[in-house]
């Protein structure tokens, strides 16, 4: 019996060690950024909500993140999860959210392998008051996105270049003759020379 107890204790310690190591393997922490919401959220309508799960607040998790969701938590503790689906961009998800009644709701993100992240407080009717983002002194060092990117993500990489339109020019009227610049310059010089010669003749006369 003593050996069985020792084996059981060793097995339990091993399982606890594996469970304790899981968050470190997952990369420690992440936070979720929402795409812009309507200025006023009402009870009843369905809203499509986009969101970004960013490891260390800067970049996508490299691997199978697992299931994500946006969760509304009522003042009485009731939880309403809305499962997310992956979008085309890395770390980008979307879900359909419906607030069933007026009141104050905590908005929480379920982040797969990472711990839940409290995004902010939603007053209905009203708007979301987001919590401050955690500071991250380490840049991601790589830009993972193009024109569609997380809003206000720290260290998300440079914004894509925007092509500026060429300076506007006024084309000549349709059918009007066009002349090269050297021809116009020559005509002006000849006219000036002729005017000078005429002036000299008049002076001599």
CATH number of the domain bearing residue 45: 2.60.40.10
pLDDT number for residue 28 = 82
**Can you say how many angstroms the Cα of residue 162 is from the centroid of all Cα atoms in its chain?**
16
The answer as to whether 6 is a domain residue is: no
**In contact, 117 and 32? CB cutoff 8 Å:** yes
The answer as to whether 93 is a domain residue is: yes
d(CA 119, CA 31): 8
pLDDT number for residue 181 = 52
**In contact, 150 and 156? CB cutoff 8 Å:** yes
**How many folded domains does the chain comprise?**
1
The answer as to whether 117 is a domain residue is: yes
The answer as to whether 125 is a domain residue is: yes
The answer as to whether 148 is a domain residue is: yes
User: Splitting the chain (205 residues) into consecutive groups of 10 residues, what average pLDDT does each group show?
Assistant: 47 40 57 95 97 93 96 97 97 98 98 97 97 70 84 55 40 48 46 48 52
pLDDT number for residue 11 = 42
Domain span at residue 75 reads 28-156
pLDDT number for residue 142 = 74
33 Cβ neighbours under 8 A, 6+ residues apart: 51, 52, 54, 133, 150, 151, 152, 153
The answer as to whether 167 is a domain residue is: no
pTM of the model: 0.63
pLDDT number for residue 6 = 43
The answer as to whether 95 is a domain residue is: yes
d(CA 151, CA 192): 64
Question: Is the backbone peptide bond immediately before 125 cis, with ω within 30 degrees of 0?
Answer: yes
DSSP state of 41: B
pLDDT number for residue 125 = 98
The token pair at 50 is 């986009």
The token pair at 60 is 């996508």
pLDDT number for residue 134 = 79
The answer as to whether 197 is a domain residue is: no
């Amino acid at each position: 019996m003593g050996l069985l107890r020792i084996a059981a204790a060793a097995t339990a310690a091993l399982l606890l060690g594996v469970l304790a190591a899981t968050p470190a393997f997952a990369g420690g922490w992440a936070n979720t950024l929402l795409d812009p919401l309507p200025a006023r959220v009402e009870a009843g309508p369905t809203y499509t909500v986009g969101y970004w799960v960013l490891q260390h607040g800067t970049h996508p998790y490299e691997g199978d993140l697992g299931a994500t969701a946006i969760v509304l938590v009522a003042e009485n503790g009731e939880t309403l999860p809305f499962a997310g689906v992956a979008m085309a961009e890395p770390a980008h998800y979307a879900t359909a959210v419906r607030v069933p009644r007026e009141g104050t709701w905590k908005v929480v993100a379920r982040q797969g392998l990472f711990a839940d992240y409290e995004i902010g407080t939603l007053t209905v009717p009203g708007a979301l008051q987001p919590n401050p983002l955690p500071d991250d002194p380490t840049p991601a060092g790589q830009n993972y996105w193009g024109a569609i990117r997380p809003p206000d993500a720290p260290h998300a990489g440079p914004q894509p270049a925007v092509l500026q339109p060429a300076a506007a020019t006024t084309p000549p009227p349709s059918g009007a003759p066009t002349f090269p610049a050297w021809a116009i310059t020559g005509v002006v010089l000849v006219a000036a020379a002729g005017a000078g010669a005429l002036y000299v003749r008049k002076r001599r006369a």
